[in-house]
Amino acid sequence: MPHRDQEIAMLRREVELLMGERQLLLQIVGAAAAMIAAVDTQRLQVGAVEAADLVATRINELPEETLQDALRSVHAEIEPETSDDAHED
């Protein structure tokens, strides 16, 4: 049984490590989502707009629940875009 206990302890440490990494990744995604939502693309250089678009595209591929977890992890809220916001020049 000692070998089994060692395996269980090792798996527990691995799960704790993965959960810590998940939390950090959620914070990174939450911060990136909040930043992208606040960016005025009209004022960015082309390269920055392309990078922001890449980040936004990947964030939009997340399941809604994961995105909400990410936003909560950094205490951020993103206001839904209204049709007026989408057509501003």
Among 6-15, 19-28, 37-46, 73-82, which stretch is predicted with the lowest mean pLDDT? 73-82
Q: What CA–CA distance (Å, rounded) separates 25 from 38? A: 20
**pLDDT for position 89:** 42
Quick one: pLDDT band at residue 80, thresholds 50, 70, 90?
confident
DSSP-derived 3-state class of residue 45: coil
Residue 5 has pLDDT above 80, yes or no: yes
Predicted confidence (pLDDT) at residue 79 exceeds the cutoff of 90: no
Q: State the angle between helix axes of 46-60 and 2-38 in degrees (0 to 180), rounded to the nearest 10.
A: 130
Q: Is 81's pLDDT higher than 60?
A: yes
